[in-house]
Structure formats: C-alpha cells, structure tokens
Structure 1
Amino acid sequence: MKTTEARAGVREWVGLAVLALPTLLLAMDATVVYLAVPHLGADLRPTDTELLWIVDSYGFMVAGFLVTMGTLGDRIGRRRLLMIGAMAFAAASVLAAFAPDPLLLILARGLLGVAGATLGPSTLSLISTMFPPGQRGIAIGLWATCFSAGIALGPIVGGLLLEWFWWGSVFLLAVPFMAVLLVAGPFLLPEYRDTEAGRLDLTSVFLSLAAVLPVIYGIKQHGGLAGGIAIVVGLVFGAVFVSRQRKLADPLLDLRMFGHRSFSVALMAQLFTMTAIGGIYLFVTQYLQLVQDFTPLTAGLWLVPSAVVLVLSSLVTPKLAGRFAPAHIVGVALAMAALGFAVLAAADGLGLVMAGFSLVYLGIGPIMALGTELVIGTAPPEKAGSAAAMSETAMEFGIALGVGVLGVIGTAVATNGQSLLETTSTQFTAGLNVVALLCAAITGVLAVLVLRLLRPAHPGR
C-alpha cells in the first residue's frame, strides 16, 4: 500500500531562503578575500607566509571545529547554535575589517573560522529536519546552488567594494547578512536537538583539535624536521581520537557512518575536489590582477561566466539524480573537471584560462550538490548535524589544504625566491600551469575511483 509522505509548506521554503543567507555569505567571503589579497598586501605588507595564512587560516579553523560544532548543535539545538554563530561571525568580521597589521588579521580570520564552523552544519542539518526525504534532495540542491551563486556574486560585489572602498569593506559585508538571519531565524526556523544525546566529551574535542592543528602547522612549515614532527604528532593524536570514539557510548564522531559506502566515497570526492579548487582559485584570481593587470571589479566580471556555469550545473543536478546513478553523475563531473584543469595546465593566455576554469566549474557543481545529499541522506536524523559537519569539514579542509599545499608549490615555481607580488607574468603563469597539472591528476584519479567504488550505490531510490 502506497503511503503519502508529508510535504514541506510555505514556512519551510521561506525558511530555506533564510538559510541561504549564511550559505551565500560563506561562499562570497571566500572569493572576495582572494580578490582583496593585492590590496591588503599593499597596505599591510605581509610576508608570503603571512599572506597564505591570511587566506587559509579561516578554512583551517573551520575544518578544525566543524565536527565539534556539528555535534554540539545536535545537543544544544541546531537553531540556537546557528544564532550564536551568526552573532560571533558578525563581530569577528568587524575585527577583521579594521585589523591594523597581518598578525591581527590572521587572528580575526581564525575567529571567523571558529564562528563559521557553526553555520554550515547548522544550516544543512536544519534542512534535513525541515524537509522530508522526497524533497530533501531538491532542498539540498538549492542549498548547493545558493553556495554556487555566492561564488558568482562574490567577485562582482567584492570588485565593487574594492573599487570604491578599502580592503576591509569586504569583511563588513557579513554584518547585514547576519542581522537578517538573527531577526528572521527565530520565527521561520524550527528548533531540533537530540534529546537522548549525552554530554559533549571535552576530551574528544581536545583530541580532534590536537589532531588537526599540528598537521596544519606541519604543512605550513613546507617540510623540514619541525614540520615532519608536527605532522607525526597530529597523526598520533588522530589515532588516539579514533580509538576513543570507538569506546564511547556517545562519541563526538560516530565512526559507524563511515561504514556506508556512499558516505565515505562522497567525503573522499568532496575533500580532494575542493583541494584542487582551493589551489587553482588562488592562482586564477591573482592571474587576472597580477598578469592581466585588471582592477578587482574587472577581474570579478571575468569570473562571472565560469561561476554562472557552476550555478547552472548545481541547479540541474537534482534532476539528473532522478535518472542516473550517483557514480555516473559524479564520475563524469570529475572527468569534466579534470579536462578543465588540463586546459589550464596548457594555458598561456586569458582565453584558455577562462575556458579551462569554466570547464572546471561545470564539473564541480554536481559534486557539491550530490555529494552533500549522499552524506546527509545516509545519516540518521539525530546525527544529521554530525554528518553535515563531516561534509563541511571535507570541503573546507580540502580548500584550505589546496591553498596550503598546492599554493606553496605554485608559489615556489612562480617566485624563484622573489616576493609573490613582484613575480613576472611568465613566472606566475608557469606556477598556475603546474598547479593545474597537479589538479588534473587529482580529479582524474578521483573520477576512476568514484566510478569503481560508488557504482553499486543509489541514493535511496
């Protein structure tokens, strides 16, 4: 006998629009910071290492705290945590906007990361609460489209702000967004928490940070004895963290979720795809300004076509998911991204750079939309916050890892001992080509793995 599934009403869809605000903001925040790099670099005069920390300290802190915040939201209430995070994000944005030196800007970006870690898991887990399984895929697809739209709007809005104001204005953009969320959220968003969850295990919180942060430090050291020791220390703490989660009755991270193939493969695809994106985006945005000598606004306008492609590919993914298996959609999307990276690896002019970047974004949209749905859909409702945190962790850590590792490799090729802001056009293009070649290899291998490993699965159909 066929049963009728409850459907989301007007309040839920308007609530989804409210949840789009932090989603748009987080995407815009990432892109406008890249555009602001030359301006804040000229004003604050950071070293190359400080410049990379300014760019990716936000992403690393988000990655470090996402698991904790996702689990915390399941315990204290997902809407409540979202409201707290919104207030903290607005305050940290003001601090970043008026930072007088690189150190304080890095600190402010780190605080933004801690606050930002509350937004993504709360948003996704609330969507899983508000929409039944039959509509959840569409809702998450729209969420991914909003994220893509934020990437599209970021260069335009950021370019306009940098055309007329100082670099700190790009951070103040968060304040009105968070204000609207704080006012409308309590009326439109439901509260949900796991009433049977135990207390937050602070030892696990410490172990998770002790695992992530030393590895990050080791990567930032660009090798050497100190960096190697830090990575080993982080891995040891990671092993202790996993061991403790296996023993706890109510762990910070439920490792049983990794037993679901769709969950694990989707996380793998998100992590390494975003690693590639994090590395190449830094170089493409700087290429437009340092090599082509475009203003921030002009550079932002040149990025619009590729971002529109990203929006459209994210938007059509839910329809494709109704006809094709996830392995085929994600595998073909990764192959398309690999082709785009290959074009970028051979690019020596503006036309090829933009064409390759558009092909990359054409492949990224389905991964963002379908990958997130696969992760959230395999988790029980009471663990939706934790599952959303893992999805966000994979993406945020991937982006930051791409900047931290691929950014260092590309910078080494482009500078040859000079400052990044003083490199020649030919040297910088060579750095972009090398990073793109590495990204092509990453996404090409991922396409093969996804087609093999995800083939038997299908998202609840």
Structure 2
Amino acid sequence: MSAAPAPPAPFLIRALLLAGVWLIYLVFGLTAASLAPLVPPIAAELGVGNGAMGLILGAWPLTYIAAALPGGAMLDRIGARWGLLIAVAVMAASAFLRGVVDTPLQLALAVALFGVGGPLISVGAPKLIAQLYAGRARGTAMGIYVTGPYLGGILALSLTNSVFLPLAGGDWRGVMALHGGLILAAGLVWVVIATLPAARPLTGPAGKSGKFDPAAFRDVVRSREVQTILAVAIGIFAVNHALNNWLPTVLQARGLSAAAAGYWAAIPTAVGILGALTVPRFATPDRQVGIMAGLFVSMLCATLLLQLVPGPLLVAGLVLQGIARGTMMTVAIMLLMESRDVPKERLGLAGGLFFTTAEIGGVMGPAAFGLVSDLSGGFVVPLVLLSVLCALMLALVGQLARLRPRLAAAG
C-alpha cells in the first residue's frame, strides 16, 4: 500500500518472490473453500444442521476481525519473510486440526484458527509487492497474485469430491490432512525463495515502524464517505462469503451430484479471475461508483437466477456472480483509497480498517444463510434475502454517488 518507489532489485528475484506470494495465496484460497464441498458428509458425521454449519463456516472471519490490526502491526516489525511463514504455519495447523475433531465446537475452533493467519497474508502480500514494484508493474503484480486465492478456490470446489476425496479413501478428514500437506509444501517453497541472499533485504522489516496512534482511527472513520464505503464492504463480504460457502450445497439441492455441484460452483471462481484482471483497470476515480453499482446489479441478478434448476439461465447466474465476486472487493478498496478523507499517510490504516470491518459481513453472511435455511426448510428464502441485501447495497452506492460531489465541492 506504500507509495514508496520500488527498490532496485533484480527482475528474477522479484519474480520469484511474486511467485512465492502467489503460491501462499493459492493455498489460502484452497483452505478457505475446503469445507464448502464437504458440508453434507461433515454435517452428517457431526450431527449438525445448516444453522450450526453456517456458524462453523463463518468462524474464521470472526477471528480475522480480531487479528487484522495486530497482525498488520506485527508485519511492520518482523517483515514479510517471517510474517508469511507464520501465516503458513497457522493455516496448516488449522487444516490438520479440522481432520481430528470430534465435536462441532472443536471444528469451529479449528476453522477459527485459520482467521489468525489470514490477515498476515491479506496485509503482507500487498505490502511486499508495493516494496518490489512501482507504477504499472505494481498493478500488474497485484493482479497476478490476486488470482492465487481464486485458483485455490477452484481447486477446492472442483476437485474435492472428484479427486481429493477418492485419494483420501472417501474420508473427509483425510482431505483436510491432504490440504495441510499442500500448505506446508507451499511454506517450504516460500522459505527457499525468501532466504535467498538477494531476497533477504527485500523481505525483512521495511525500516522503523511508527507507534500505533488510536487518534488516527478518528481522523479516518468520522468521514461520511468512509463510513458508507465500509458499510458497502460489509455487504460485499456478507454476500460473497455466504455464496462461497453454501453454493455447492445449494446446487446439490437443485439436483446436481456432489461432484457436478463442485464443478458448477467453480464457474464463478473461474470467471472471477478474468474479472479481477480486467474490470479494475477501467475503474478510474470518475467511474468507480458506476462500476460498483453495476457489480451489485450483477450480483442481484445472480442471486435471483440461483433459484432456478440447472440450465442456461443458472449458468448465466453463476457467470454474473463470478464477475461481481472477482471485482467488488478490489473496486471497494479503490473507492476507499481515492477518498479525499483518507490522506496518503493513512492508507495502511485505511486498508486494515477495511478488512477488519468487511469481515463482519464475512461472519454474518454464512451464519445467517445457514440459519435462515434451517428455519425456512430450504434455500429459497436465504437467496431472496441476499437479493434484498444487494438492493440495499445499491442504495448505499447511490448515496455514495451523491456524497462524493459534495465532498469534492467542500474540498
């Protein structure tokens, strides 16, 4: 997030570090989506309903909220080399522990552990890339590494029931152990890259970090524009996390097999990669609000089309979901960074505040979706509620469009 110029580092070292970050983000996405294709067998073995599973699926965003700001402060002190390695160790522990639980509470705690390491990646990756690249190269590098979690999600959704589960002898616990091994392998690659002599100066602490100033929060949060953007971020994460975690189960309820549902659920993720690499480049400051409105329209249509049986219209809904899913968070961050009320010296704080606030929706989305599906006996009502939420977010974006000119005039 820093605007400092990139250090004079050899192209190969920068490329290797970018590859290492991408690989860690890949296993991050794999782990985040690992339970979604396995909800039915896990729920059956542990004896829980959709409401309890929703709470379990939303456990890691809850700890993410608490860990984001301390994790960012720790990264400033220890640097990306150790910060990302710690994140890998925490993710691997979370994966392995999921495979040995006996109760729903133990599974929730194992999932929650993932949220402790998550912020180290979310903050550490852009922080390192900002040190390595400048100008257009920085945007290109960020566009590359952000494909990592999407590809990880594709692997989890499309291969869990068709490949990973058979490899694990049909036992979902073995799938968790397999994921843990993949995470450790990614960590080993990162250690090899980050400890190269030419890479060590680039992955250590970036100078002396300032003390945390609570008053800085007040300077940023009291802006009405920032408040509106953060409210939109909560809605984005609520919709995305709800659909990310429940989409395979919803598709199975529409008549697809577990394996087929995994492949269909991977469509939004695949489309999201293309969206993440293309749409943000058009989101110039004068277009950002309009593009965000269009993305919410896409997501609104997607939640309505998910009510249909498998067919062309349902595929269209999955494509629309992917376009919005792959771009909404990026455009929202750009809205925040372009705000007149966020000075350049507060961009890091604003980014941490964004993720901390947005993950409130990340917790509420899956939990509320599961609870409402239990109470209503299906997925019609929770999908309708997601449609209503998208409409409310459109209204907030409209308010933001009205607010920005007034703020510009006031400046």
Structure 1 length as normaliser, TM-score? Answer: 0.74
CA contact (8 A) 2:298 2:323 kept: yes
Question: Residues 429 and 47 of structure 1: is their aligned pair in 2 closer, same or farther, counting only changes over 3 Å?
Answer: closer
CA contact (8 A) 1:140 1:369 kept: no
Deviation at 1:155, TM superposition (A): 0.7
Q: Is residue 350 of structure 1 aligned with residue 297 of structure 2? A: no
Stretch of structure 1 that moved more, 16-25 or 388-397: 388-397
2:16–2:193 Cα contact (<8 Å) kept: no
Match of 1:320 among 265, 277, 282: 282
> Distance in 1 between the 2:405 and 2:195 partners?
42
1-structure distance, mates of 2:223, 2:392: 23
Closer/same/farther in 2, CA of residues 355 and 147 from structure 1, 3 Å limit: same
AA aligned opposite 1:195: K
SS at match of 1:26: helix
Q: Which residue of 2 aligns with 1:278?
A: 241
**Aligned residue for 1:168?**
173
| CA shift for structure 1 position 265 | 5.0
Q: 1:148 aligns with which of 150, 153, 176?
A: 150
Whole-angstrom CA distance in 2 between matches of 1:48 and 1:80: 38
Q: Give the AA of the match of 2:83.
A: L
Number of residue pairs aligned between Structure 1 and Structure 2? 388
Q: 1:154 to 1:435 in 2, by over 3 A?
A: farther
Deviates more, 1:180-189 or 1:68-77: 180-189
Name whichever of 104-113 and 143-152 sits farther off: 143-152
Alignment correspondent of 1:439: 389
- 1:136 aligns with 138
Letter of the aligned partner of 2:241 in structure 1? G
Structure 1: how far apart are the matches of 2:193 and 2:335?
29
Q: Does 1:300 align with 2:305?
A: no
Q: Which amino acid aligns with 2:299?
A: A
SS in 2 for 1:77: helix
For 2:46, the equivalent position in structure 1 comes to 44
**1:27 and 1:151 in contact (8 A); partners too:** yes
Answer yes or no: is 1:112 the counterpart of 2:129: no
Contact 1:342 1:440 survives alignment (8 Å): no
Counterpart CA distance in 2 for 1:341 and 1:123 is 31
- Give the unaligned 5+ runs of structure 2: none
Of 179, 187, 190, 2:188 maps to 179
How much has 1:44 moved relative to structure 2? 2.2
Residue 306 and residue 364 in structure 1: after superposition, are their counterparts in 2 closer, same or farther (change >3 A)? closer
Tell me, yes or no, if the aligned pair for 2:300 and 2:390 is still in contact at 8 Å. yes
Residues of 2 paired with 1:258 and 1:356: CA distance? 35
CA distance in 2, matches of 1:301, 1:453: 42
In the TM superposition, residue 87 of structure 1 has moved relative to its aligned partner by 1.9
C-alpha distance in structure 2 between counterparts of 1:138 and 1:294, whole Å: 38
> Is this contact kept in 1: 2:269–2:326, CA < 8 A?
no
Q: 1:435 to 1:261 in 2, by over 3 A?
A: closer
Distance 2:314 2:190 in 1: 37
User: Which secondary structure does the structure 2 equivalent of 1:349 belong to?
Assistant: coil
Deviation digits for residues 217-257 of structure 1 (CA, Å, limit 9, x no counterpart): xxxxxxxxxxxxxxxxxxxxxxxxxxx923xxxxxx64434
Report if the CA contact (8 A) 1:70-1:388 is conserved. Answer: no
Alignment partner of 1:363 is 2:324? yes
Contact kept, 8 Å, 2:51 with 2:372, in 1: the verdict is no
Please state how far the C-alpha of 1:375 moved relative to its aligned partner: 4.6
Shift of 1:19: 1.0
In the alignment, which residue of structure 2 is the partner of 1:250? none
Counterpart contact for 2:22–2:148, Cα < 8 Å: yes
User: Which residue identity does 1:285 align to in structure 2?
Assistant: P
The 10-residue stretch of structure 1 (282-291 or 272-281) with the greater mean CA deviation from structure 2 = 282-291
2:90, 2:117 within 8 Å by CA — same for their partners in 1?
yes
* Partners of 2:143 and 2:359 in 1: CA distance: 18
User: Shift of residue 313 of structure 1?
Assistant: 1.0
CA distance 1:376–1:171, shift in 2 (3 Å): farther
1:266 deviates by 4.5
Query: What SS does structure 1 have at the residue aligned with 2:24?
Result: helix
1:16 aligns with 2:18: yes
Name the amino acid aligned to 1:109.
V
Aligned-partner residue type, residue 245 of structure 1: P
Describe how 1:14-413 pairs up with structure 2 within 5 A.
14-159=16-161, 160-165=163-168, 166-172=171-177, 173=179, 174-187=183-196, 188=199, 189-193=202-206, 195-198=208-211, 245-246=214-215, 254-258=217-221, 266-295=229-258, 297-321=259-283, 325-344=287-306, 347-351=307-311, 352-375=313-336, 386-413=349-376
Find the aligned partners of 1:437 and 1:327 in 2 and give their Cα distance: 20
Output the TM-score relative to the length of structure 2: 0.82
Separation in structure 2 between the aligned mates of residue 355 and residue 397 of structure 1, nearest angstrom: 29
Please tell me the residue identity of whatever aligns with 1:367.
M
| Alignment check: 8 A CA contact 2:46 2:104 kept | yes
Gap change, CA 1:31 and 1:66, over 3 Å in 2: same
Alignment check: 8 A CA contact 2:53 2:367 kept = no
1:420 aligns with none
**Alpha-carbon shift at residue 402 of structure 1 (Å):** 0.8
Change (3 A) 1:29 1:371: same
Contact 1:23 1:146 in 2 (8 A): yes
- Give the counterpart letter for 1:146 in structure 2: G
Residues 19 and 455 of structure 1, relative CA distance in 2, 3 Å threshold:
farther
- 1:245-291 deviation per Cα after TM superposition (whole angstroms, max 9, x unaligned): 23xxxxxx644344678765544333211111222344432122244
CA distance 1:342–1:49, shift in 2 (3 Å): closer
Deviations 1:48-105 (A, max 9, x none): 5542332111121112211221122123334322222222222232122222332222
**In the aligned structure 1, how far is the partner of 2:56 from the partner of 2:297?**
32
Identity of aligned residues (%): 21
Q: Is the 8 A contact 2:94 2:110 kept in 1?
A: yes
CA deviations over 1:344-391 (Å, ceiling 9, x no partner): 3xx231234432232122123222333334556777787665444333
